[in-house]
Structure 1
């Protein structure tokens, strides 16, 4: 019984330990997302496919070797391969062959295909890099949104504690006849409004956590939480660079342009592949074959007892009939299996040349289509460069504006804090009513919330600029 109680206790303890929440840091969230996010995994699969494409291209340089073997039974009227006579029989025949082929020259398409496969792999790697950058930003944005929601809740709860104190004090003053009943009702209304906003803030935290968990690929929403950490504002020295410096750096480092350049190179390789069809193709082949049969072999001959001779001709002058012995072959057991294979084998080898003359303009049209694709890829590269310049300029401007908005929000928050302190002092001595006090309190709460929002908005926009500046996603200072 004691052992049973001990087991139950251990089981419950392990269950409680497993149920404990793991609090995630931003760095852990980013790293986990890069390993488990579905979109990142799909990009990794694209990279694996490009590796297979490269192996396919390498395989074109290797000879093809194929073997075939057939063992068949024929029943009914079939030719006796020994005597050449049609007869009703059941016979077994075996054949085998081995064929090897090698492309010696195909208009250099094998080499072009290998080059194309290498470029395709680079394009897949650039796409994976871009996806990792995008996911890291999504995670950072979602994480900062959770932090903002949590700190917003802290502000509301802290202000609610102040309201509770004021409610107690106002109730005492109303009962003492110092303040009118309306002041108490105003404070109670403020208390009810704050409770409602606290509930909404708590719900917003859960919604933000679920959004972050989904980005990470975590489905245990109930036990998912993040570390309550106040991130400081730093790293704005990158904004000391001019926007044009950031743009030039982005052109060198960002995957968007690399992807567009790789797509243009792929289109150019497709043109080279299509042009290769104009040239002759030369190949070599080698074939080895052998066969075996279960029919008997001819071991000798005997005279036909019913017709010992047969006419083979006629002398023209004398019209004398010429006869010869009429023999019947005698059949013996077939030779052993491997002896027949050895006796009946053969080889063939040679070269095969294919020269294109006319194929309904298919090659010519294929070349023209791919040349059009090259022009389209060049336009897409030009557009990608324009988009990158616009995005960097927008991100740089947003980050600078967000920093100025954050500084202004801090000034406004500090001013409203002093105004609220002043309103509190006046309310405590009865120089202002509850409505004016509540309005001062609401303005202070709003400026605190706006300062938090501006802070995390600036941190996120600064990270965007850092990514455009070429800082790897895992090296971002958070």
Structure 2
């Protein structure tokens, strides 16, 4: 018994020394760190920046297109060598330089430039919503890891309280055995229960370290175990009734609905672009030219208008337009069906939340009942009216009730976040 007490003390001192070296995080701090450091968030931010650059690139199509060209040549003989009369000849183009600059401004493109910019804008909105969805997923994952660590931490606290009771009980029973008041069997039962509690402590410590390391890795704090700034109170959390919101009103706040709506708008814009590809395009422009082909500088200014009519484009273009019409219908169907599913999910997560809260209420009552049962059996054993087995069973029931309470409390907190996210909050 003395050796076991030293071992428990050593483990406790090691854990205490580790705690001092740890950075302690609250749930909000964990979420904030994850949103800054998690790879998923970094990639989502990069995707949004890519979409923003694509939108800026689409805007440049409103500007004139500028081009410059130039060239020169040199020949060992004139390119043009004419004999005008006997003894008379004309040689030209032995060497020369040509160059020019031109600019063209689109006047009408069938709406392709305007709709292309609208499509790029919808793409930015799409990736903004996807980034927000990533935030939700990261927050929910952090919440799961955080409460796993809390559950393990609270189980250790319960075990520590039982170890204290068992240590006192061991001393009392040892004294009773030495005085001949009780049998050695009671002492053996206490010692066996102490061994079981020590084994449970080791398992709980391993689970606690693993949960903290998983949380640390996810929030970008490295792979070392971190501290959790949370102590579970026995008071009942606030009833979740104040969180309820009407699914019909909440629907338009959800990222999933807005993503489907964004996709529908994009399909309609793509349809207009497909129509514009089969319409005439008009552009106006001008340019400046220079050449020195006849050993003389020559410059000129030109202006032009171009009209392009895709005559044969309608052969395939008509099918492309019909394809986009069908895609619009599919997007509309997806939006209608997805909206119903989202409202059903809100109701389902609300039911899960209220069930989780009722389980917390039940678990809290069980703690009160098991604590009273333990107190009575402790008194009964001291009075000699109950057996050691009954007392140890009462301790087990007390530990189980506290474990169920912390598990129910953690599940309630996770379900609360799931409901808030399902309703766009």
Give the TM bin, normalised by the shorter chain: 0.7 to 0.9
TM-score (structure 1 length as normaliser): 0.76
Q: Which residue of 2 aligns with 1:289?
A: 289
- Superposed CA deviations along residues 24-82 of structure 1, whole A, max 9, x for unmatched, are 1211111222222221222222221221222122111100112234466x5xx744368
Structure 2 counterpart SS, 1:261: helix
Structure 2 counterpart SS, 1:112: helix
Aligned pairs (5 A) from 1:207-286: 207-219=210-222, 221-222=223-224, 224-230=226-232, 234-236=237-239, 238-240=240-242, 245-286=245-286
Structure 1 counterpart SS, 2:227: strand
The answer on whether the counterparts of 2:148 and 2:211 sit within 8 Å (CA) in structure 1 is yes
Q: 2:410 aligns with which of 456, 460, 465?
A: 456
- Superposed CA deviations along residues 144-163 of structure 1, whole A, max 9, x for unmatched, are 22112111111111111111
Mapped partners of 1:458, 1:465: distance in 2: 10
- Structure 1 pair 94/225, CA: closer, same or farther in 2 (3 Å)? farther
The answer to whether the aligner puts 1:178 opposite 2:173 as a matched pair is: no
The answer to whether the aligner puts 1:384 opposite 2:338 as a matched pair is: yes
When the two structures are aligned, how many residues end up with a matched partner?
A: 396
Mapped partners of 2:112, 2:178: distance in 1: 97
Mapped partners of 1:133, 1:120: distance in 2: 20
CA RMSD of aligned residues (A): 2.6
CA positional deviation for 1:224? 2.6
CA positional deviation for 1:228? 3.4
- Superposed CA deviations along residues 315-373 of structure 1, whole A, max 9, x for unmatched, are xxxxxxxxxxxxxxxxxxx7xxxxx6xx2333433122111222373211211222222
The answer on whether the counterparts of 1:249 and 1:468 sit within 8 Å (CA) in structure 2 is no
Q: Which residue of 1 aligns with 2:87?
A: none
Bigger Cα displacement from structure 2, 31-40 vs 145-154? 31-40
Q: Which residue of 1 aligns with 2:157?
A: 154
The answer on whether the counterparts of 2:212 and 2:225 sit within 8 Å (CA) in structure 1 is no
The answer to whether the aligner puts 1:199 opposite 2:153 as a matched pair is: no
Mapped partners of 1:62, 1:452: distance in 2: 63
Q: Which residue of 2 aligns with 1:5?
A: none
- Structure 1 pair 470/233, CA: closer, same or farther in 2 (3 Å)? farther
The answer on whether the counterparts of 2:367 and 2:398 sit within 8 Å (CA) in structure 1 is yes
- Superposed CA deviations along residues 138-194 of structure 1, whole A, max 9, x for unmatched, are 222221221121111111111111112212222222233322222222111111111
CA positional deviation for 1:442? 0.6
Choose 1 or 2 for highest CA Rg: 1
- Structure 1 pair 222/211, CA: closer, same or farther in 2 (3 Å)? closer
Q: Which residue of 1 aligns with 2:48?
A: 47
Mapped partners of 1:256, 1:58: distance in 2: 28
Q: 2:121 aligns with which of 118, 122, 127?
A: 118
Bigger Cα displacement from structure 2, 415-424 vs 49-58? 49-58
- Superposed CA deviations along residues 380-407 of structure 1, whole A, max 9, x for unmatched, are 2123212211221111101111111111
CA positional deviation for 1:430? 3.0
Q: Which residue of 2 aligns with 1:64?
A: 65
Q: Which residue of 1 aligns with 2:89?
A: none
CA positional deviation for 1:435? 2.1
Mapped partners of 1:229, 1:172: distance in 2: 36
TM-score (structure 2 length as normaliser): 0.85
Aligned pairs (5 A) from 1:227-376: 227-230=229-232, 234-236=237-239, 238-240=240-242, 245-292=245-292, 343-359=297-313, 361-376=315-330
The answer on whether the counterparts of 2:142 and 2:218 sit within 8 Å (CA) in structure 1 is yes
The answer on whether the counterparts of 1:233 and 1:459 sit within 8 Å (CA) in structure 2 is no
Structure 2: 5+ residue stretches without partners: 1-16, 84-93
The answer on whether the counterparts of 1:249 and 1:470 sit within 8 Å (CA) in structure 2 is no
- Structure 1 pair 182/346, CA: closer, same or farther in 2 (3 Å)? same
